[in-house]
């Protein structure tokens, strides 16, 4: 896994600088628009020397996306420890996503926009992490809808809708609110969606 967040007490290695540059350039200008020469020039390296640090541009993109998804999953699981109720688990899941979006926006952009530029094998590997994250929310929503119940088709639809809303934060450029406020706002939306689905069943 890539070390995206480097220590503030030591200078960044060439590899670290390359990773940071790739995240920024791929997210702001697009994977297809950035060549290895662009990356090299951005960090002050010769294009040929990049192969001492990466296999190729495709593998670099996969590592960036895999790292982002792995970190998101780890952060979410860690934040949810100690939650005593399904409702609290919902809030903590949302909070983890909001925090990641605000602190690692460019990395999340790679997951959403540049996933299609991965080759088939890399997509399959990255998709396993996406499904694990998705399944975690699916279980939480199923429990909130009906304690000790198993996820079903309707739960799956709600989960897809919630994930779409969470990833959609990337496009809410006009919104300016605190992490806590955004977390409470989105958690409220999720809880109302779940409550509405429970009423429909009745």
- 5, pLDDT greater than 60: no
pLDDT of 53 reads 81
pLDDT of 4 reads 55
How would you class 132 by CB atoms within 10 Å of its CB: exposed for 0-12, middle for 13-18, buried for 19 or more? middle
Instruction: Give the C-alpha separation, 39 to 101, whole Å.
Output: 24
How far from 146 is each of 65, 174, 199, 200, 201, CA to CA, in Å?
Answer: 34, 36, 12, 13, 11
Options 1.10.3720.10, 1.10.287.3510, 3.30.565.10, 1.10.357.10; CATH of 57-197: 1.10.357.10
pLDDT of 55 reads 85
- 7, pLDDT greater than 50: no
- 33, pLDDT greater than 70: yes
Instruction: Give the C-alpha separation, 160 to 155, whole Å.
Output: 9
CATH 3.40.50.970 fits 12-54, yes or no: no
Over residues 133-191, the pLDDT tens digits come to 999 999 999 999 877 666 688 899 999 999 999 999 888 766 678 999 999 999 999 99
Interacting residues of 194 by C-beta distance below 8 A, sequence separation 6+: 90, 141, 144, 145, 158
Map out the domains of the chain as residue ranges.
12-54, 57-197
pLDDT of 93 reads 98
Over residues 41-66, the pLDDT tens digits come to 888 877 777 777 888 999 999 999 99
């Amino acid at each position: 896994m890539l070390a995206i967040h480097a220590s503030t007490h030591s200078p960044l290695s060439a590899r670290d600088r390359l990773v940071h540059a790739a995240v920024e350039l791929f997210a702001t200008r697009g994977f297809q628009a950035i060549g290895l020469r662009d990356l090299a020039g951005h960090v002050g390296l010769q294009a040929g020397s990049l192969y001492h640090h990466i296999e190729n541009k495709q593998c670099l993109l996969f590592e960036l996306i895999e790292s982002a998804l792995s970190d998101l999953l780890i952060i979410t699981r860690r934040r949810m420890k100690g939650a005593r109720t399904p409702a609290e688990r919902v809030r903590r899941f949302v909070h983890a996503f909001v925090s990641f979006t605000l602190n690692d926006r460019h990395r999340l952009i790679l997951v959403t926009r540049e996933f299609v530029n991965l080759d088939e094998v890399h997509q399959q590997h990255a998709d396993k992490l996406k499904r694990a994250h998705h399944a975690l929310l699916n279980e939480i929503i199923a429990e909130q809808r009906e304690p000790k119940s198993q996820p079903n088709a309707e739960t799956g639809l709600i989960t897809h809708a919630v994930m779409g809303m969470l990833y959609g934060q990337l496009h809410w450029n006009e919104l300016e609110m605190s992490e806590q406020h955004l977390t409470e706002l989105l958690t409220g939306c999720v809880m109302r969606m779940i409550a509405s689905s429970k009423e429909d069943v009745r």
